[in-house]
Amino acid sequence: MSLAQDVTVTHAQGETTISGVPAKVLTSDWAAFDNLHAMGIAVAGVPASNSPAYLQGFVAPDALQIGSLFEPDFEGIAASEADLYVVGARSRAAYETAKDILPTIDMSIDNADIIGGIEANLTKLGEIFQLQDKAAELNAALDAKVAEVKAAADGKGNALVLVTNAGNVGVYGPDSRVAWIHNQLGIPTAMPDVEDGDHGGDGISFEFILETNPDWLFVIDRDAGTGESTGAAAALLDNELVNQTSAAQNGHIVYLDPQAAYITMHGYTGVMLLLDQVLAGLNG
């Protein structure tokens, strides 16, 4: 390995210079944790809440708990003497305070190009940690998976991406946290002009779902994603109107991992998991 030198990283809120390869890394963003883990980088501090089930086995038992996704524990972060702190999405507002404490980067990405954003973040981590080959390997695997799912989706019709939330149903569109279903896989939305609401999507009725009659329904159960309850989405959608749709009658309702889709959104492992779920549905 070559001698570590300063690396200046351009990110969502500016530029940060990092001296050498960081030995102790903290993050308040589960997508960043996902990407760091995929790269084989140990994470010494994580959010104290909303740990996605698919990542739980990867969090070190002695990892520091550094506050919630929205309210990091700055005292604990300062006391940790860490070399790098990564924020993103829900924790991005912490950047202004954190950057004066320790080298901090914001790995938030644009929902319009989630796949490209993940790959750019992996490339940045490769530069910071001198793991360029690992980043290239992961990016190639992600590109290959997207190509495989895109090919499987070709000619299979349109879709609505639904989010269920406390008994309500909404649609996620091309600016949502799973926008890659439309933007990168090329699956057309059955609902033009979606107003992407961050939590509950663009609110719709069961009558609208039947009227629109999409070929596919991809479903995110927000209640399960936030740990409030599980199985609510399936129970909610098992009704006389939805059951008349061609999606329901053809077995084309695909339930996506709610935490990968709703909590992490932009994590390599999570998006690979979601792509596999979409692929299994399309090929089912």
* pLDDT one-digit tens code per residue, 124-166: 999 999 999 999 999 999 999 999 999 999 999 999 999 999 9
How high is the mean pLDDT of the chain?
95
Judged against a pLDDT cut of 90, whether residue 198 lies above it is answered with no
Select the more confidently predicted residue: 269 or 227.
269
Q: Give the Cα separation of 219 and 163 in Å (integer).
A: 6
The Cα-based distances of 38 to 41, 160, 165 in angstroms read 8, 30, 30
DSSP E strands, 222-262: 253-255
* pLDDT tens readout for residues 162-195: 999 999 999 998 889 999 999 999 999 999 888 7
Residue 195: per-residue pLDDT: 76
Reference 125, options 265, 7, 24, 5; nearest CA is 7
Q: Which domains does the chain have, with CATH numbers?
A: 8-130 (3.40.50.1980), 152-283 (3.40.50.1980)
Residues forming beta bridges with residue 7, ordered by sequence position:
18
Q: Residue 180: what pLDDT?
A: 97
Instruction: Give how far Cα 49 sits from Cα of 70, 84, 155, Å.
Output: 10, 20, 41
Binned at pLDDT 50, 70 and 90, residue 2 comes out as low
pLDDT tens digits for 203-214?
Answer: 899 999 999 999
pLDDT at 1: 44
Q: What is the pLDDT of residues 30-87, one digit of tens each?
A: 999 999 999 999 999 999 999 999 998 999 999 999 999 999 999 999 999 999 999 9
* Biggest CA-to-CA distance, the chain: 65
Q: What's the chain's Rg over C-alpha atoms? A: 20
